[in-house]
Structure formats: structure tokens, C-alpha cells
């Protein structure tokens, strides 16, 4: 990375900051490589030029696609069968469960397999048979469920996508927004939106923190200068990194929390615009639910970067949303009693 | 500074030495060049303020309104374009030349607003001025250029390129949009803009005790020692000063009962209010009993219809909102909306323009006053912001 230019930059050397650096840097780097690989492959094919032609359901769809919700998996019986059957045959998933969520999953998994089962018992038997005969799984085999996807399967609906993702581009500024509802108490969700906790939002941050001496704490939040180091890796190569200084205003009351941010400068002047906000508020009439909305606008200085900007912003929001969903699942009392949640 | 402005400043200084009160009447004194003023009575600061108020209002209506205005009842008469131009340029000089002992009677943003309103009519003013009084359009064009950073000759006078409310960079006001709608009985106006100042600096502008800069309001309530997060209050009476004419006659001050509710949160502060004129207020008296000095023709008798007590500020209601702008830390969104009606034909006929001038002048003066209040605290930014109240 080149040295920051001195002309437009407010300070030649970045000011001292109370930066939070992740302890598990290696694991995060690995997760970051996987995240960006997955994204680049989905959008542009393999780095070698090979384009993916296989149907996502025929591959390990749950890993290759961006994180999906339970509703999306229920709509794919084929993937659902392949995920559930080994777990049931090997006993990792207790087939004596009779809760509605489990029954719904089993019935959904077998609804287009040969003859449609008439009830849950038939569907369970057919699923076990499918696992033994079609997949060749025996009760002595080991099955390692992907924890994240497994939780999504067994969880009741934690996240409702009430609005499609919006991507707009005007005058070179790409704006991406997401709106969902999360089953999470407001007080628990409030801290996640604090920029000081953005390391939990995904592996793309190498460090975040408020600049020391340039932020003010208030009873209803804080505001000031904030710095972050956002990196993009493709395979083992670092494609780019952005050392961004933002003006941030984090505000909350008993009903709403919002973090506004806008670009002060980027150390290498790679951004012309980077602003947005994250907001969560209680949903009237839905106890324990919050509505979450995120919007981000980016304009990069170099034209290739501008082409990638909508994708970067979208991946950032999606990945953050996925982290938020995972936090929701972890927080949920129903799941903390499940074996998978205990394993986590 | 040009020689014209130098000369103007010298004139103003000369008047100041004579001990005259600071007012727009200097404009008349300087512009008339010895023209006799036959009107009775004496100039007082309130009269000068009323005249400036009327000048800005007339400028907001535009010169085409001169013919349409009611002529038989001159209490709220419009001001002539020559006097408008003269007064504005004098006020401009007053505010941009530090002359000891002289202060401008109104806020600088209102003078700029007047220049903005008049800009489409500079040519016509020049045409009138050649026939009658001294031509000051050169100075007024220069003042416009210095105020808005663009030459008035090349700036659009109409159409989408000319917003109803300009940007005021010194106040941080930008992207202002003024919308009006006229209904059968009432008129609704709404002005909405972004203000590039932190929320804590300008949120106090919604409280009535901070409305002092606006020429429409007077006798405002005292600021309480402690302001709760939710305030429900009734202010009675509060005075609304209607624009028109050159004299601050008592019946131009209308006593109004104001019911208000203010909600303050970390994200927004909003006042909702409704108001109605008090029929038997302190200034309610027969118009025939009040010396109508704004009447040009002494032979005219007051119109019988105007000789009775009538309501001139009909019921109005609205809200004012200051909220943090999402995605723009350090900036706010300000909305002012009001719906109501008037009694006098000159206000009623131009109700959209009058209400538009009302809310626009409120926006400018309230923001300017809020910034002045916050100025001592913003000397050292971080330290001052640490004192931000919850």
C-alpha cells in the first residue's frame, strides 16, 4: 500500500486510536479468504477462468452460496434431504423429536421424493431410507454437520427478509440497502450496532476503533472519528485494503439505535464517498422482534473499483447480516438448549 | 470595496453621527434626497422594523403583486419597489461595514433572503428607478453576487434552476425545498432542508422562547429553568405581527393563543402546535379607532367592513422538526410545516407567498439564532461537545 498523500489528508500520520485487533487473526484471515473467494467465484467464476456451470444444489450448496435462511433451505428439498438424512441415520439428530419445526423440515425434505408422504411418520421413514439407500450412509458413519447451516435448519424463523436487497447506482455512487426483522430483544441488539463492536460483523475488518481524543461519549451514545482497516483477499493474495477514517455518530434511546457514518478520508484516497447508517428499532406489536435496516453508499476513485463497488457493499451488508443472524441464533433461548448450540 | 459602497457607508456614518436610530428609515432618508414626507406621526424602532418586515414580505410576493393588492384598505399595503431596493442595499451596507454605534435591525440572513426574492425583478427596478429615484441596482446586483456567489444577471429568474429558498452556506442550510398547497379555506406550506450542523446545536430552535429573531413573533414566553423531554404547554397571549405598511400600529399586533407539545429524543425534537387569534385580545379595537397612518389618501375613510373587529390571523397549526440526518453524522434535517389562513385581503390573496415567507424567515432566523447560542460552546469543539446535554 502506498503512503498516504499529504495534501488532502488531514494528518500525515494517522492519529493514535484505541484500535481493537482480533486475537484470532489467522482464523479470520482464513474466513476472509473463503468469503471473498466465494463471492468472486459466484460472480466472476474461478480465478483460473473456469466458470461454474453446476447447479448450486448439486454442489455443497450451503457452503458455496452466501448464507441462507431456513425459509430458503426449506424451499430446496434436494439440499435439505442431503443435509438431514445423514444426521438422522447416524443419530446426530434425534429422530424422536416431535417439535413442529423438525416435523416441518422432514416433510419439506421429502415432499418431491418419489411418492409424496402423507404425514410426518412416512416422511421420516422415507428420509431414513433415502439416507441408507441413496446416500449409502450407515449408522456407524460419522457425520459432521455444518454448524451454521444446521442451526438455521432447526431454528425457528429468526430472520425475516421483509424487503428485497436494493442496489442502485447513480452518478457513480453505489447504494445498497437491506431491511430485515430479527427475533432478538432490542437491548441485546443495541450493542451489536456500536461501531466499536464491528469486529464481530465479519472477517473483512482487520482493525477498528475510535480515534483517541477525537470522540465524545454521551449518555445516549457517542460521536467522533473512527478508523477501520477493511481488507479484501482473493486466495492468498491481498487484492486491496482500505484504511478509512469515518465520522461516526452512534445514538440510541429506548426504542431505536442508529449508527451514522460518513467518510472523512481514506489513507490512500481510494474513496470519494463512503457513507451510510445501520438502524434497529422495536417492531410495534411484536415483542422480542426488531427491525434492522442498513444502507451503504460507496464511490471509489478508480474506475475498476467503482465497478466492484456495488458487489463489495452488498457483500459487506450480507456478511454483516449473516453475523447478526448468527448472533441472534446464539442469543435465542430455544437454541441454547439444543445440542448444536451447546457444541458452539 | 467599491467606491459606491464607500460612499454609501459614508452616508450611513453621517446619519449615525446625527444620532438617528438605526432603521430602514435611513433608506428613505438617503434615497429620497430631501423628498418631503407628509405622513403624520413619528418614526420609532418598531415602525422601522415593521417597514423592513413589509419590505421583505413585498419582495416575497414579487412586483407583479403590486397591481393585484388591495388598494382601498392600505393598512397592510405593499412597499414600492424603489423603496425595497433602497432599504435592502442600506441594510446590506449596514451589515457588511462595521460602523460604530450602528446595528442592523434584522438578521443578515433576512437581508439576503430579500435580495433573493428581488433578484428576478432587478431589471424592472432599474427601469422604475430611472424614471423616479436614484438608481441603486448596480449596488444591489453587487450585493447579490457577494451573497450568493453568482452573478444575478446570469442566474435564472424562474424555472427549476431557481429554488424558492436558496442555500445559505454560512448557516449550513442547503437543499431547501418549499412546497405550498392552497385549499378552499386554508393554505399549507412546508419547507424542508438539510442543516450542516450537529443536532445538539440547533435542536433548541423549536422552543417558542427561542423564536426571537423572527419578525412575525413578539412577546414570546420566558425560558423555563428546566425543559422536560415531553412538554405540553399553552402560551397565552403571544403576538403575531403581520407584515404590511410602514407603521407599527397596535392593531397589526394580533394576540394569539398557542397550544403546543414538544417531544425531544436523542434522534429528533419536534413541536406540534395549534394557534388561534384571541378575539378580545389586548390589541383588539375597532379599526376606526386606530390612526391608520398607512393610508396615503387622507380623504379616504376607513372601509365599513374594516371598521369592525375582525380576526386577521385565523386558526393555524403545524409542526417544526429537527432530526438527525440518517447517514450524515453532524447534519440535521429541519422541517417546518404550517397550515392556516388570514383575514386581510392582502394576506389572504397572497396566502401561499405570505406563509412561504413566514416559514422561510422562521427557518433562517431560528437556525441563525441557534448557532449564535451555540457559538460560545463551540470554541473548542471536543471540549464543548463533551458538555452536550443528554
Compute CA distances B101 → A17, A338, B29, whole Å.
Answer: 50, 81, 18
CA distance B225 to chain A (A): 21
pLDDT over threshold 50, residue A8: no
Query: How far apart are the C-alpha atoms of A73 and A67, rounded to whole Å?
Result: 10
CA B111 from centroid of its chain's CA atoms: 9
What percent of chain B is predicted at pLDDT more than 90? 36
pLDDT given at position B322: 97
pLDDT over threshold 90, residue B326: yes
Taking all residues of chain B, what is their mean pLDDT, rounded to a whole number? 79
Q: Are A221 and A186 in contact (CB under 8 A)?
A: no
Banded model confidence at residue A146, pLDDT cuts 50, 70, 90: low
pTM reported for the whole predicted model: 0.75
Q: Which residue do the cell numbers 425531544 mark?
A: B264
C-alpha cell at A94: 434425534
The predicted-structure confidence for B109-126, as pLDDT tens digits, reads as follows: 998 998 899 888 888 877
Q: Which one of B329, B385, B390 has the shortest CB-CB distance to A262?
A: B329
Compute CA distances A37 → A29, A42, A46, A206, whole Å.
Answer: 12, 8, 8, 18
For residues A136-153, give the mean pLDDT.
65
pLDDT over threshold 50, residue B30: no
For residues A188-195, give the mean pLDDT.
89
From A228, A203, A212, select the one nearest A24 (Cα to Cα). Answer: A203
Query: How far apart are the C-alpha atoms of A326 and A337, rounded to whole Å?
Result: 15
pLDDT given at position A41: 60
Banded model confidence at residue B376, pLDDT cuts 50, 70, 90: low
Instruction: State which residue of chain A sits closest to B199, comparing Cα positions.
Output: A249
* Structure-model confidence comparison of residues B379 and B94, the more confident one: B94
Are A216 and B330 a contacting pair at CB < 8 A? Answer: no
Q: Are A162 and A181 in contact (CB under 8 A)?
A: yes
The predicted-structure confidence for B146-197, as pLDDT tens digits, reads as follows: 888 888 888 888 887 888 999 999 999 999 999 999 998 999 999 999 999 9
The predicted-structure confidence for B235-291, as pLDDT tens digits, reads as follows: 888 999 999 888 888 778 888 999 999 999 999 999 999 999 887 666 655 555 666
In sign, the C-alpha dihedral spanning B322, B327, B329, B330 is negative
Q: Which one of B265, B324, B329 has the shortest CB-CB distance to A247?
A: B329
3-state SS string for A32-81: HHHHHHHHHHHHHCCCCCCCCCCCHHHCCHHHHCCCCCHHHHHCCHHHHH
Least confident of A156-165, A215-224, A280-289, B351-360: A156-165
* Structure-model confidence comparison of residues A239 and A50, the more confident one: A239
Taking all residues of chain A, what is their mean pLDDT, rounded to a whole number? 77
pLDDT given at position B216: 94
Q: What is the DSSP letter of B224?
A: P
Q: Are B314 and B341 in contact (CB under 8 A)?
A: yes
> Hey, of A10, A249, A299, which one would you mutate to test binding to chain B, going by the most B CBs within 10 A of its CB?
A249
Is B387 near chain A, with CB under 8 Å?
A: no
Q: Are B331 and B194 in contact (CB under 8 A)?
A: yes
**What residues of chain B lie within 8 A of the CB of A223, using their CB?**
198, 329-330, 385
Least confident of A63-72, A131-140, B129-138, B378-387: B378-387
What residues pair up with B238 in beta bridges, in sequence order?
B256
Triad A133, A135, A139: Cα angle to 5°: 80
3-state SS string for chain A: CCCCCCCCCCCCCCCCEEEECCCCHHHHHHHHHHHHHHHHHHHHCCCCCCCCCCCHHHCCHHHHCCCCCHHHHHCCHHHHHHHHHHHHHCCCCCCCCCCHHHHHHHHHHCCCCCCCCCCHHHHHHHHHHHHHHHCCCCCCCCCCCCHHHHHHHHCCCCEEEEEEEEEEEECCEEEEEEEEEEECCHHHHHHHHCHHHHHHHCCCEEEEEEEEEEEEEECCEEEEEEEEEEEEEECCEEEEEEEEEEEEEEEECCCEEEEEEEEEEECCCCEEEEEEEEEEEECCCCCCEEEEEEEEEEEECCHHHHHHHHHHHHHHHHHHHHHHHHHHHHHCHHHHCCHHHHHC
Residues 319-338 of B with CB under 8 A from A: 324-330
Is B381 near chain A, with CB under 8 Å?
A: no
pLDDT given at position A60: 46
pLDDT over threshold 60, residue B390: no
ipTM of the complex in this document: 0.74
pLDDT over threshold 60, residue A303: yes
pLDDT over threshold 60, residue B334: yes
pLDDT over threshold 50, residue A4: no
pLDDT given at position B285: 58
* Structure-model confidence comparison of residues B388 and B311, the more confident one: B311
> Hey, of B325, B329, B377, B388, which one would you mutate to test binding to chain A, going by the most A CBs within 10 A of its CB?
B329
Banded model confidence at residue A211, pLDDT cuts 50, 70, 90: very high
Query: How far apart are the C-alpha atoms of A293 and A188, rounded to whole Å?
Result: 16
pLDDT given at position A150: 61
Amino acid at each position: 500500500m502506498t503512503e498516504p498523500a499529504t495534501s488532502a489528508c488531514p494528518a500525515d500520520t494517522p492519529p493514535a486510536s484505541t484500535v481493537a485487533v482480533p486475537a484470532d487473526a489467522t482464523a479470520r484471515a482464513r474466513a476472509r479468504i473463503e468469503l471473498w473467494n466465494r463471492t468472486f467465484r459466484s460472480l466472476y467464476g474461478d480465478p483460473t477462468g473456469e466458470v461454474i456451470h453446476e447447479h448450486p444444489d448439486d454442489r455443497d450448496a450451503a457452503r458455496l452460496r452466501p448464507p441462507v435462511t431456513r425459509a430458503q433451505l426449506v424451499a430446496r428439498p434436494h439440499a435439505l434431504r442431503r443435509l438431514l438424512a445423514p444426521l438422522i441415520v447416524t443419530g446426530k439428530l434425534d429422530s424422536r423429536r416431535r417439535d413442529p419445526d423438525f416435523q416441518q423440515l422432514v416433510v419439506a425434505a421429502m415432499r418431491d421424493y418419489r411418492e409424496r408422504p402423507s404425514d410426518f411418520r412416512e416422511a421420516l421413514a422415507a428420509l431414513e431410507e433415502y439416507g441408507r439407500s441413496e446416500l449409502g450412509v450407515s449408522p456407524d458413519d460419522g457425520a459432521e454437520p455444518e454448524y451454521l447451516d444446521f442451526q438455521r435448519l432447526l431454528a425457528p424463523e429468526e430472520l425475516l427478509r421483509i424487503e428485497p436487497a436494493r442496489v442502485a447506482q447513480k452518478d457513480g455512487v453505489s447504494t445498497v440497502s437491506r431491511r430485515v426483522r430479527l427475533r432478538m430483544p432490542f437491548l441485546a441488539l443495541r450493542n451489536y450496532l456500536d461501531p466499536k463492536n464491528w469486529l464481530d460483523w465479519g472477517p473483512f475488518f482487520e482493525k477498528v476503533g475510535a480515534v483517541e481524543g477525537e470522540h465524545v461519549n454521551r449518555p445516549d451514545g457517542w460521536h467522533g472519528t473512527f478508523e477501520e482497516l477493511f481488507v479484501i483477499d482473493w486466495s492468498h493474495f491481498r487484492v486491496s485494503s482500505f484504511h478509512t477514517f469515518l465520522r461516526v455518530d452512534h445514538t440510541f434511546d429506548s426504542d431505536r439505535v442508529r449508527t451514522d457514518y460518513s467518510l472523512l478520508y481514506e489513507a490512500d484516497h481510494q474513496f470519494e464517498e463512503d457513507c451510510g447508517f445501520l438502524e434497529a428499532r422495536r417492531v410495534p406489536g411484536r415483542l422480542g422482534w426488531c427491525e434492522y435496516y442498513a444502507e451503504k453508499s460507496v464511490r471509489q476513485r478508480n474506475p475498476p473499483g467503482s465497478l466492484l463497488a456495488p458487489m463489495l457493499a452488498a457483500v459487506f451488508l450480507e456478511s454483516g447480516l449473516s453475523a447478526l443472524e448468527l448472533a441472534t441464533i446464539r442469543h435465542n433461548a430455544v437454541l441454547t438448549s439444543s445440542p448444536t448450540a451447546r457444541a458452539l | 470595496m467599491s467606491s459606491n459602497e464607500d460612499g454609501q457607508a459614508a452616508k450611513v456614518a453621517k446619519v449615525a453621527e446625527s444620532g438617528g436610530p438605526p432603521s430602514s428609515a435611513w433608506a428613505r432618508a438617503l434615497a429620497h434626497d430631501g423628498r418631503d414626507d407628509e405622513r403624520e406621526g413619528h418614526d420609532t424602532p418598531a415602525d422601522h422594523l415593521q417597514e423592513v418586515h413589509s419590505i421583505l414580505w413585498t419582495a416575497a410576493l414579487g412586483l407583479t403583486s403590486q397591481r393585484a393588492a388591495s388598494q382601498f384598505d392600505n393598512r397592510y399595503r405593499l412597499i414600492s419597489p424603489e423603496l425595497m431596493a433602497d432599504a435592502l442595499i442600506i441594510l446590506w451596507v449596514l451589515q457588511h461595514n462595521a460602523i460604530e454605534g450602528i446595528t442592523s435591525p434584522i438578521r443578515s440572513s433576512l437581508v439576503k433572503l430579500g435580495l433573493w426574492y428581488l433578484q428576478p425583478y432587478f431589471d424592472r427596478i432599474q427601469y422604475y428607478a430611472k424614471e423616479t429615484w436614484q438608481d441603486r441596482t448596480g449596488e444591489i446586483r453587487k450585493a447579490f453576487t457577494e451573497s450568493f456567489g453568482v452573478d444575478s444577471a446570469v442566474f435564472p429568474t424562474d424555472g427549476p434552476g431557481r429554488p424558492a429558498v436558496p442555500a445559505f452556506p454560512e448557516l449550513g442550510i442547503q437543499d431547501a425545498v418549499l412546497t405550498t398547497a392552497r385549499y378552499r379555506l386554508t393554505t399549507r406550506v412546508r419547507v424542508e432542508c438539510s442543516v450542516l450542523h450537529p443536532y445538539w446545536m440547533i435542536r433548541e430552535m423549536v422552543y417558542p422562547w427561542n423564536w426571537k429573531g423572527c419578525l412575525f413573533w413578539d412577546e414570546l414566553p420566558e425560558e423555563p429553568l428546566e425543559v422536560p423531554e415531553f412538554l405540553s404547554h399553552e402560551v397565552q397571549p403571544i403576538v403575531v405581527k403581520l407584515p404590511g405598511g410602514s407603521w407599527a400600529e397596535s392593531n397589526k399586533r394580533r394576540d394569539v393563543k398557542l397550544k403546543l407539545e414538544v417531544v425531544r429524543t436523542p434522534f429528533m425534537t419536534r413541536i406540534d402546535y395549534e394557534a388561534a387569534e384571541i378575539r378580545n385580545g389586548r390589541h383588539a379595537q375597532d379599526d376606526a379607532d386606530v390612526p391608520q397612518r398607512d393610508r396615503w389618501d387622507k380623504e379616504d375613510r376607513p372601509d365599513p367592513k374594516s371598521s369592525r373587529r375582525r380576526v386577521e390571523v385565523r386558526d393555524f397549526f403545524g409542526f417544526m422538526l429537527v432530526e438527525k440526518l440518517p447517514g450524515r453524522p453532524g447534519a440535521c434535517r429541519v422541517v417546518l410545516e404550517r397550515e392556516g389562513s388570514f383575514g386581510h385581503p392582502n394576506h389572504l390573496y397572497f396566502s401561499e407567498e405570505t406563509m412561504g415567507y413566514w416559514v422561510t424567515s422562521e427557518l433562517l432566523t431560528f437556525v441563525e439564532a441557534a448557532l449564535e447560542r451555540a457559538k460560545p460552546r463551540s470554541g473548542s469543539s471536543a471540549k464543548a461537545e463533551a458538555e452536550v446535554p443528554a
